[in-house]
Amino acid sequence: MMENGFNRRDFLKVLGWGGTAVALSGCGNTSVEDGRETVNSYVEAADYVIPGIGVYFNSTCAQCDAGCSIMGKVREGRVLKLEGNPDSAINRGKTCGLGQAGVQHHYNPDRVREPLQRKGEIGVTITWEKAYELIAEKLKDVSGEEIAFLSGGVSGHLKVLLDNYLASFGCRNHFVYEALAPAVVRAANKKSYGVEMPRYNINKAKVVLSFGADFLGAWVSPVHFSQQYAQFRKGVDGERGVLIQIEPKMTLTGANADRWIPVRPGTEGVLALGIINALGTAGGDIAALVKDYDKVRVSKETGVPPGHIDKIAALLKLRSPSLVLAGSAAEGYAHGSQNAAAINLLNHVLGNVGKTVEAAAEVPFPQMAPARGNTAALKALNDGLAAGKYKVLFNYAANPIFTAPGGMKFKDNWAKADFKVVFAHYMDETALQADLVLPLDSALEDWGTHVPEYMADGAQINIQQPLMERLHANTRGMGDILLALIKQRRPEDYKSYEDYYGYLRAAMLQNKAALGGGGMDDDTFWSETLSKGIVKLAGAATTAVHSKAGATDLTLPAATQDAQYPLQLIPAVNVSLRDGRHANLPWLQESPDPLTTIVWDSWVEIHPKKALEMDITEGDIIEVTSRTGSVKAQAYLFPGIHPDAISIPLGQGHEALGRYAKGYGVNPFQILDAVFDKETGELAMHETRVKISKTGQRVIVVKDESAAGAKQIRKKIAGRMSTDNVDLSKEV
């Protein structure tokens, strides 16, 4: 950990990694390079820097929005491995597999290394000065209203800088877009509890009833929840917690549940009201609301047997407190808000609010609070683009051309803006359509502060610092770029900050007292902050949760039938690939999907019953057609899915993004219809209906699990040839 308070960039430079003086000649496995290879040589080295021995520096994981704190093992100036920082209340020393793969974003061979300007079909390398000039020139004749900035979720000082930059030319069009954000649930939470993201105490619950919240896999803060889950399983007062997962497609969390209940897609809200009815403890408005949701009706609509509903109700009555979660599978419909509200209502009825649903601490600096991404923002931008409102468009930390649902025709509308600037790590689908591509530092080379959306115990600001000198001379940190851009507009105000590091340091020192550094001198405070990697804000305020249930005027439509498109498409969130931004990490591509064990590809999950009906076997290439488009992928027979639904994992099917992503699998975003939640305007991800047909081709599904393996563990999770029929001697 860092002990001295000097500038890390200098520090790394001093260590000998600045410039090109150190030639790291790559040698083959067996080459002995006497007299040819250069020794790693330092100019000055701190006492704790010893060649061959790793030093750990704290930083923050940038792989997802959970904001886990990490420490990177650095040896001979190179970051080798990431571990969790034990001091963070969010991840307590652990990381997930996705976090581990962060080093592969850093060392990825397909990173963009130079600023590129479009000349016809090719990108021509230009200098940064030229790039900045170009931006200034393009902004000169447009009004603030004609400029749009699309970004992923941002927080901390980067957000402050970005807001100030946009304000400097009167642009109010900052669209914060995350393809897979729990935006509907946030809005419903705001109504039900008064806060968008309360703190969920899984560890204090005796029963967790989760409607499609994959909290062990990809939902909100999976490392944090996994640790809570471990405590929950050990039990409160010796009573082992019971997990019931209700969802049409089994997630990793569903696979861990004591009871996994497939529900007809979209009827989660109905089931929630049915459970309230079965509990029979609610009075007043709520009783009136659920009056008609008796077992028989609910069972008919949801496909969940009446006996199950009774059992769930009985269990919830018996064990208190419990916790009910509304996850992405419940929110992805045109009536998603209603679903989420109905599910949240259960927490009120069960008296969980204030016990297992608590107020989260808040960072007392609203400017730094996370700008939470959602999909309504993409729609707003898309509509604006379609109407020709925007002339200059910036894009950062999002790949909308890949993730926008095909039904939106986003790519066509994108082209309507005259000048498109993309800040990029890779030439992804969006960067390919840019007029100017600006290459970014990797997360392990950059500075930053982050405020996680989901706060565990107490509020904290996470520090991101370079774990290594930049690999490529011409990439820049996003903060540095924004600072350079804002200097074009307000040179006087920002001239004293040489770079983003200087800005960050000055900003943190200015507020030293509020950040727990009262009484410390500047250098001590700063080096402590960097050394810890986390600023914990003691006594941060919390917004109290409502203990009164909110509105009870819910309208939950019954599931509809569609003869032409009989199946519901569930775009599944892969634990590793997420919205596709990590598909170019070979570690993640080769990590088997936790449920199907398939690697490096897409698949269509289909219930064996349905498959039998349609005479589909594993490996059949089937065509999935929606109103918007169609994709072809291999079939995988899987009992963990509702027979009326099929599922394709998200994240694959890239046409760009480098050698490890391009050309693998298919992209289900492409065939999603543009249907939106009626209340929040969020994209209804699960609302697309499809039909499937066989193409006649068949492939061997590449996966870890084999017929023999399934027999060995005495668990066949999908129907296949019995091992008794396989002559192993012939297989070798």
Partner 1 sequence: MFRFLRLSVLFAVLFVSAGSHAADASQPLSTADDLGPQVDQPIEFPHDRHAGDAAQGGMQINCMYCHTYARRSMTAGIPPTQKCIGCHQSIESVRETPRIKKLFEYWEAKKPIPWKKVHDLPDFVRFHHERHIQRFYFQQGKPVQEVCGYCHGNVKTMTVARRTKSLSMGWCVSCHEKQHPVDAASTKTAQGPNDCWQCHK
Q: Which amino acid is at 708?
A: A
- Residue 197 found at the interface with ligand SF4 (CB under 6 A): no
Binding segment for ligand SF4 (CB under 6 A), chosen from 56-64, 432-440, 509-517, 699-707, is 56-64
Name the minimum Å distance from CB 27 to partner 1: 7
- Residue 63 found at the interface with ligand SF4 (CB under 6 A): yes
Backbone phi and psi for residue 626, each to the nearest 5 degrees, phi listed first: -110, -175
Identify which of residues 19 and 283 has a Cβ nearer to partner 1 in the complex. 19
Name the minimum Å distance from CB 483 to partner 1: 25
**3, 6, 24, 51: residue in contact with partner 1 (rule CB under 8 A):** 51
Binding mask 377-416 for ligand SF4 (x = CB under 6 A): ----------------------------------------
- Residue pair 273/343 in contact (Cβ under 8 Å)? The answer is no
Identify which of residues 88 and 395 has a Cβ nearer to ligand SF4 in the complex. 88
- Residue pair 731/723 in contact (Cβ under 8 Å)? The answer is no
Binding mask 72-111 for ligand SF4 (x = CB under 6 A): -------------------x---xx-xx------------
Name the minimum Å distance from CB 698 to partner 1: 22
Residue 24 binds which entry of ligand SF4, partner 1, none, CB below 5-8 Å type-dependent = none
Chain positions 204 to 243 lying near partner 1, rule: CB under 8 A, are none
**52, 284, 491, 539: residue in contact with partner 1 (rule CB under 8 A):** 52
Name the minimum Å distance from CB 442 to ligand SF4: 14
**Edge-to-edge order in the sheet of strand 259-261:** 259-261, 242-246, 207-211, 322-326
- Residue 32 found at the interface with partner 1 (CB under 8 A): yes
Tokens 């030293």 map to which residue?
A: 512
- Residue 66 found at the interface with ligand SF4 (CB under 6 A): yes
CA proximity to 131, closest of 542, 512, 424 = 424
The span from the CA of 61 to the CA of 239, in Å, is 34
The span from the CA of 144 to the CA of 517, in Å, is 39
Q: What is the DSSP letter of 458?
A: S
**3, 4, 6, 44: residue in contact with partner 1 (rule CB under 8 A):** 44
Name the minimum Å distance from CB 8 to partner 1: 15
CA proximity to 189, closest of 323, 357, 329, 322 = 357
Phi/psi-derived region of residue 348, left when phi > 0, alpha when psi is between -120 and 50, beta in every other case: alpha
**3, 21, 97, 291: residue in contact with partner 1 (rule CB under 8 A):** 21
Backbone phi and psi for residue 489, each to the nearest 5 degrees, phi listed first: -90, -45
**8, 9, 13, 489: residue in contact with partner 1 (rule CB under 8 A):** 13
* CA triple 367-372-377, angle to 5 deg: 115
Name the minimum Å distance from CB 311 to partner 1: 54
Binding segment for ligand SF4 (CB under 6 A), chosen from 8-16, 63-71, 310-318, 352-360, is 63-71
- Residue 64 found at the interface with ligand SF4 (CB under 6 A): yes
- The two tokens of residue 610 are 């349905």
Q: Determine how many CB atoms are found less than 10 A away from the CB of residue 303.
A: 19
Backbone phi and psi for residue 286, each to the nearest 5 degrees, phi listed first: -65, -40
The span from the CA of 554 to the CA of 246, in Å, is 20
**39, 713, 721, 728: residue in contact with partner 1 (rule CB under 8 A):** 39
Tokens 């192993």 map to which residue?
A: 728
Q: Which residues fall within 8 angstroms of residue 645, CB to CB, at 6 or more apart?
A: 248, 249, 265, 567, 568, 569, 570, 607
Identify which of residues 38 and 722 has a Cβ nearer to partner 1 in the complex. 38
Name the minimum Å distance from CB 732 to partner 1: 9
**Residue 557: cis peptide before it, omega within 30 degrees of 0:** no
- Residue pair 80/554 in contact (Cβ under 8 Å)? The answer is no
Residue 363 binds which entry of partner 1, ligand SF4, none, CB below 5-8 Å type-dependent = none
Name the minimum Å distance from CB 54 to partner 1: 10
- Residue pair 396/149 in contact (Cβ under 8 Å)? The answer is yes
User: Which residues sit at the interface with partner 1, rule CB under 8 A?
Assistant: 13-14, 16, 18-19, 21-23, 27, 29-45, 50-53, 76
User: Which residues sit at the interface with ligand SF4, rule CB under 6 A?
Assistant: 61, 63-64, 66-68, 91, 95-96, 98-99, 222-223
